[in-house]
Amino acid sequence: MTLGIQSRLVVTTTLVLGTFLTLAGVVLDRSFKASTLAGAEEQLKLVIYSLMGVAEEYENHVVFGELPEPRLSQPESGLYAAVKEIDGDHAWRSPSALTTNVDFPEMRPDLGEFLFGEVATGGVARYLLTYAVIWEDAQESVLVFQVATDQAPFRAVIQGFRQNLYFGLGAVTLLVMIVQILAIRWGLRPLRVMAEEVKDLEEGRREQLSADYPRELQGLAVNLDRFVEHEQRSRTRYRNALEDLAHSLKTPLAVIRNALGERADGDPALLSEQLDRMERTVTHQLSRATVSGPVVVSKSVNLHTLLTRLTVALQTAYVEKGIQVEMRVPEDLQARGDEGDFMEILGNVLENAFKYTHKRVRLSGCAGERATIRVEDDGPGIGPEIRDQVLNRGTRADQVQPGQGIGLAVVAELVTLYNGSLNLDTSELGGAAIELML
């Protein structure tokens, strides 16, 4: 299925916007996580500096009196500290680490270097900061300060930021999509208006497009108006020229008929019959020459009304046969095109039905994607072996009734021009059934 312009723009911009906001969310999430971890490291550095500030020497060992951070004295406070002497047997742990039974891994970073990482002790994930320094007051021993803090508070902060971030980005995405759809609809409105006006042109409800189009569409609107105007003028000139030709031909024929009537030799009846035939042929072929199928500007033709007019005329012409006509055509059955073309199509089909029927003619129709009309009679019908042949010019199903054998051929040509179909079948009444789809 081919997407419309609006759908394509919405899908494209949604994909671009979604990709951009997703990448932006990932970058912001990682940046905030890195910032939070850096903040945790800075907090642990402050604790180490505070411990170094209150450390005292006692019997060549470093001891701590009053701890600088109250949480170091509280069990399960989430902040723990330890100091170890490298190459010594003295080690100190904060009361919080002792009561919570927090163990510190053996680590020895380079002197003066902070080493930050993650550890899991007792099934609890913690951040650990290690710092090694030479403590001159304790016989220049190397002390390793280690401070650990639970990861849970920092993870909660990160998770809260992440939820707010993606909720906000989702709300922004939805809002931008709504604004984008409204903006696209507003931007494409001239195209929708043009499409509606072109449809009105096709159905004959207006003669030209409006002039208030954006400059990008002005050229197209002007060209469409010129095309429609040219098509109308060409069709009018064509019809007028052919009508003039028909009039010019009929006058000499009338003169010939009058002259023959004044002559004594020859068979006036035969010659008059041939002249009538020539006149009918000229008129018929000239009217056929104006047929061009569906045109750019056309109106909807009520087929029920057209069939009623034709039926009344044919009942008058074949009054001696006393034909019964059964009409099953919806009153609102319509098709868009030239009324003269439809008159040619339905006139030929109905004339054949009236010509060959014994007593009954049935007309039925239905509406859908195409208008369907079925004409049936109770005459001799058209055999399956010649159904394809009778659609060719000059081929007749019988040699009794008068005619030139071009009626169904004309119908087939016109139906083809209208992208329709013509089917020959056997009627339930016993005769021929001709189904037209326009």
Could you tell me the pLDDT band of residue 348, with boundaries at 50, 70 and 90? confident
Per mean pLDDT, which of 86-100, 279-293, 343-357, 409-423 is the most reliable? 343-357
Three-state secondary-structure class, residue 83: strand
Dihedral angle sign, alpha carbons of residues 31, 33, 37, 43: positive
* Residue 418 vs residue 182, higher pLDDT: 182
Distance CA 372, CA 393 (A): 24
Return the pLDDT at 375: 92
Amino acid type, 160 = G
Mean pLDDT of 212-227: 80
Mean pLDDT of 109-133: 86
Place of tokens 């049935």: 362
* Residue 77 vs residue 86, higher pLDDT: 77
Return the pLDDT at 399: 42
Return the pLDDT at 28: 92
Amino acid type, 250 = K
* Residue 35 vs residue 257, higher pLDDT: 35
CB-based contacts of 3-7 (< 8 A; 24+ apart in sequence): 5/188, 5/191, 6/184, 6/185, 6/188
Return the pLDDT at 286: 58
Q: Where are the domains of the chain?
A: 1-202, 241-289, 299-437
Query: pLDDT of 53-63, one tens digit each?
Result: 887 777 666 77
**Phi then psi dihedrals of residue 327, to 5 deg:** -105, 120
Distance CA 118, CA 364 (A): 87
Return the pLDDT at 60: 65
Per mean pLDDT, which of 99-108, 169-178, 185-194, 235-244 is the most reliable? 169-178
* Residue 4 vs residue 161, higher pLDDT: 161
Question: Quick check: 373 pLDDT over 90?
Answer: yes
Mean pLDDT of 187-216: 80
Mean pLDDT of 139-144: 76
Distance CA 107, CA 4 (A): 66
Return the pLDDT at 396: 47
Q: What percent of the chain has pLDDT over 70?
A: 79
- pTM for this one? 0.50
Question: Quick check: 83 pLDDT over 80?
Answer: yes
Distance CA 376, CA 354 (A): 10
Question: Quick check: 91 pLDDT over 60?
Answer: yes
Could you tell me the pLDDT band of residue 394, with boundaries at 50, 70 and 90? very low
Place of tokens 């005459």: 379
Distance CA 16, CA 372 (A): 49
C-alpha angle with apex 317: 396 to 401, nearest 5 degrees?
A: 20
Place of tokens 């029927």: 357
Question: Do 132 and 109 form a contact (C-beta atoms < 8 A)?
Answer: yes
Joined tokens for residue 383: 């055999």
* DSSP line for 34-78: HHHHHHHHHHHHHHHHHHHHHEEEETTEEEESS-SSGGGGSTT-S
Question: Quick check: 402 pLDDT over 60?
Answer: no
> How many helices, marked H, and strands, marked E, lie in the chain?
8, 14
| Range of lowest pLDDT (156-170, 228-242, 264-278, 347-361) | 264-278
Dihedral angle sign, alpha carbons of residues 211, 213, 216, 220: negative
* Residue 62 vs residue 142, higher pLDDT: 142
In sequence order, the 6+-apart residues with CB closer than 8 A to the CB of 394 are 404, 405, 406, 409
Question: Quick check: 269 pLDDT over 70?
Answer: no
Question: Quick check: 351 pLDDT over 70?
Answer: yes
In sequence order, the 6+-apart residues with CB closer than 8 A to the CB of 289 are 242
Joined tokens for residue 13: 């911009």
Joined tokens for residue 136: 């001159």
Question: Quick check: 132 pLDDT over 70?
Answer: yes
Return the pLDDT at 45: 92
Which CATH fold would you assign to the domain 299-437? Heat Shock Protein 90 (3.30.565)
Joined tokens for residue 333: 């059955």
Q: What does DSSP say about strands 61-64 and 91-93: parallel, antiparallel, or unpaired?
A: unpaired
Give the mean pLDDT of the chain: 80
Could you tell me the pLDDT band of residue 259, with boundaries at 50, 70 and 90? low
